[in-house]
Amino acid sequence: MKALVQDRIGSPLDVVELREVPEPHAGPDQTLVRMG
């Protein structure tokens, strides 16, 4: 899945990147919420 990732401080135009990331999975006693 694709995600916008910010892993450093700075202007959003300079630090936010679109990356391919693994799809998350909920663990025991956790809830996964789909946004969109």
Residue 36 is predicted with a pLDDT of: 82
Phi, psi of 13 (to 5 degrees): -65, -25
Determine the average pLDDT of the residues in 3-32: 96
Q: Which alpha helices (DSSP H) does 1-36 contain, by range?
A: 12-15
Q: Do the beta carbons of residue 23 and residue 16 sit within 8 Å? A: no
Average pLDDT of every residue of the chain: 95
Q: Please state the domain extents for the chain.
A: 1-36
pLDDT band at residue 12 under the 50/70/90 scheme = very high
pLDDT exceeds 90 at position 35: no
First CA to last CA across the chain, in angstroms? 13
Find the farthest-apart pair of alpha carbons in the chain and give their distance in angstroms, rounded: 37
Determine the average pLDDT of the residues in 7-23: 96
pLDDT > 90: what percent of the chain?
A: 92
